[in-house]
Amino acid sequence: MKIALVGNPNVGKSTVFNALTGSNQQVGNWAGKTVERKSGLIQRANQEIELIDLPGTYSLTAYSQEEIITREYILREKPDVVMAMVDASNIERNLYLVLQILELSPRVVIGLNMLDLAQTAGITIRTSELAAALNVPVVEIVAAKGKGIEEFLTEAIRVGELEQDLSPVEVSYPKELEQKIQAMEDLLAKTKWATRYPMRWLALKRLERDPEIGQEWKISTSQSRKSKSKDSCCDPGDVVNYELLETVVLPGDDLLQTYEAEGWSKDHFEMAFADAKYKYISHILPRFRTHENPAKPTWTDLLDRWVLSPIWGYPIMFAVLAVVFWGSFVASAPIGDAVSQGMAWTADVLVGLLRWGHVPDFVQSLVRDGIFAGVGAVLAFVPQIAIFFAFFSFMQDSGYLARAAFLGDRFMQLMGLHGKSFFSLVSGFGCNVPGIMATRTLEDPKDRLITMLINPLIPCVPRLGVMSAVVAAFFPGSRGSVVMLSLLFLSMILVMFSALFLRRVVKQTERSAFVMELPLYHIPTMRNVLIPTWHKTYSFLKRAWTFILVASIVVWVLSSYPQGVPMNETWAGDMGGWLSFIGRPLGFDWRIMVAIVFGFTAKETTLSTLGILYGVAADASQSIAQAMTGAMTPLRAFTFLVVYMLYIPCLASVVTTYKESGSLGWTSFGVAYNLILSFVMGWIVFHGGMLLGFQ
């Protein structure tokens, strides 16, 4: 007797196979395949049984080696019985394969495994009713504990010895499909293939245009079973080799063409058959399965009803962001002040020491007006930035960030952005460079280009850091979070506007939908919040001590020479003078224009440049906030923030855009677009504010 053991992967098949065959196994590969072939001999009641452990598979289509091997074995070798193992804890998934096996072989016995796991999950399976639903025997087993395995085999032997085949259940397809299946069966019934394959299965596969149907094979070699070596547990080698003789086109081509003309492609048939099987499983499932509280909503489900709601989701998102920004500004204010005073005190002490050591004046000036004014201006806002990073990590670890991204995508669909484009934009909130690089996952080059061009409009973390520093200086307390939210809102509006505009410039293909797997909510761990916060803050500090230090020295040189002249007549002043024609319509003085130019290299240098040019350390009692607020009105500061947020993020992002797009033209277009957009928006904000009566 020949018995085939089949089932989904990880259903416990190997455990049953090993328990039944012991050491009497042969292990090799299936002919011409890399899939392992295991068979074993069993002696029961003077009868020799060959048990074949077929590869674990979820279905019997022709998409993988495992599937082809399993079904070809059942079709060609025609085992006397098929032992189908089913995972009781995920029975709906396993029954799909069972229904396909029942189409191939009428002699099937089901081994219902993992009942203990199912019971733990609150699932009860009524075995007799499952057997009645499928009209095949079902045996309960717990393979891991060796329970029921012998009974499973005994039942299989009994079924194998039956004189008549069983009549397992037949999936009924919709009426239109049944007519088509019948028409194909009528055509195939007159051929030799009807004697080789189960008729209904053959008709289904013909309608699906299954490539394996119609192949003529012959057994080319039959190796004698080698005795196992003393060092091996198992016998090696293939037992049977097949050789493809020819591929014959089966009858029914005209019929298939007729169906094709009606819109029934091979894919439509395949999907319709699979769908009918799933519907059938859903239909019979309640007869034999009871799931205690299956629909009991989890905390995640309950929260998601509100958080992902098209109506409430957006107000909740804005409320969360408001809390994040409020926390960043209000909670950090005392620490920021302390750091600022500490920096001023350190600068005083250090310059005092330099003076005491008769160090030349220009070195004292470099330390005080260059390094401490520049790097110190950035460092004063590190607590604020660290708290912002901590909130960001908290949102990420709690599972909310993924939901915010999901909501953002739905919002942006209106603008014709591709779903995946939005995730590149979300990356841009961290850093625009990975955001631009993330566009690689977009298949359509036009989608990629548009996403690349709008990514710089998303304020990255360093930009958010500088923005929050300026906001904290001009709009202290709760007003700061409102201003930050309004800036982010403006950024989103411009992303959408730009997407619409660029869709006209770069013709885009139709967008597609997606289904997103969202993580479960959970309370973030300290480790998952603090370590990322430290990494981000450290990166920020590292840049402050390296890149920003160099930039601060350069700016100090430019703002100190020629010596003995007012600052607006230094080289930096001259540079600002040349750019004043751009800054004047926006209410910017020359110092802001110089800071914007230095911001091209890295955004944080804007803050250090402002620190130096506003002479923060010249008077140790004055912080950058005080220095800036004394020289700018809130309206000008807000205009500066708008321009700062929208113009090119940094040199690295421009280089990345060039590398990723491979086009100097589109890179130049992107730079020009950002510059023009930022200054136009700045002009609108400044003059709009003036009209509204702001100073």
Q: Which of residues 241-280 bind another protein (CB under 8 A)?
A: 262-265, 267-268, 270-272, 274-275, 278-279
What the block records as the tokens of 71 is 């079904």
What the block records as the tokens of 411 is 């919002």
Q: What is the 3-state secondary structure (H, E, C) of 635-675?
A: HHHHHHHHHHHHCCCCHHHHHHHHHHHCCHHHHHHHHHHHH
Should residue 451 be labelled a site residue for another protein when binding is judged by CB under 8 A?
A: no
Should residue 462 be labelled a site residue for another protein when binding is judged by CB under 8 A?
A: yes
From 43-51, 88-96, 163-171, 491-499, span contacting another protein (CB under 8 A): 88-96
- Per-residue mark of binding to another protein, 62-81 (x: CB under 8 A): -xx-----------------
Say whether 22 sits in a helix, a strand or coil: coil
Please report, as residue ranges, which positions from 537 to 556 form the binding site for another protein (by CB under 8 A): 538-540, 542
Binder to another protein among 19, 58, 687, 694 (CB under 8 A)? 58
Contact assessment for residue 634 and residue 474, using Cβ atoms and an 8 Å cutoff: yes
Q: What is the 3-state secondary structure (H, E, C) of 357-402?
A: CCCCHHHHHHHHHHHHHHHHHHHCCHHHHHHHHHHHHHHHHHCHHH
Shortest distance, CB of residue 536 to another protein, whole angstroms? 5
From 153-161, 364-372, 506-514, 666-674, span contacting another protein (CB under 8 A): 506-514
From 192-200, 454-462, 563-571, 672-680, span contacting another protein (CB under 8 A): 454-462
Total residues contacting another protein by CB under 8 A comes to 73
Angstrom distance (rounded) from CA 347 to CA 369? 9
Shortest distance, CB of residue 37 to another protein, whole angstroms? 22
The angle that helices 382-398 and 526-545 make with each other, rounded to 10 degrees, is 140
Binder to another protein among 9, 36, 47, 92 (CB under 8 A)? 92
Q: Which is nearer to another protein, 149 or 495 (CB)?
A: 495
| DSSP, res 415 | T
Should residue 410 be labelled a site residue for another protein when binding is judged by CB under 8 A?
A: yes
Binder to another protein among 3, 461, 473, 494 (CB under 8 A)? 461
Shortest distance, CB of residue 123 to another protein, whole angstroms? 11
Shortest distance, CB of residue 532 to another protein, whole angstroms? 5
Q: Which residues pair with 647 in a beta bridge?
A: none
Angstrom distance (rounded) from CA 60 to CA 99? 10
Should residue 304 be labelled a site residue for another protein when binding is judged by CB under 8 A?
A: yes
Should residue 197 be labelled a site residue for another protein when binding is judged by CB under 8 A?
A: no
Shortest distance, CB of residue 131 to another protein, whole angstroms? 22
Q: Which is nearer to another protein, 255 or 405 (CB)?
A: 405
Should residue 514 be labelled a site residue for another protein when binding is judged by CB under 8 A?
A: yes
Q: What is the DSSP string of 470-499?
A: HHHHHS-THHHHHHHHHHHHHHHHHHHHHH
Say whether 356 sits in a helix, a strand or coil: helix
Should residue 406 be labelled a site residue for another protein when binding is judged by CB under 8 A?
A: yes
Should residue 413 be labelled a site residue for another protein when binding is judged by CB under 8 A?
A: yes
Closest listed residue to residue 369, CA positions, set 554, 611, 206, 595: 611
Q: Which is nearer to another protein, 193 or 264 (CB)?
A: 264
Say whether 405 sits in a helix, a strand or coil: helix
Q: What is the DSSP string of 417-475?
A: --HHHHHHHHHHHH-HHHHHHGGGG-SSHHHHHHHHHHGGGSPPHHHHHHHHHHHHHHS
Binder to another protein among 405, 505, 506, 597 (CB under 8 A)? 405
Should residue 388 be labelled a site residue for another protein when binding is judged by CB under 8 A?
A: no
Please report, as residue ranges, which positions from 418 to 447 form the binding site for another protein (by CB under 8 A): 419-420, 423, 426-427, 429-431, 433-435, 437-438, 441
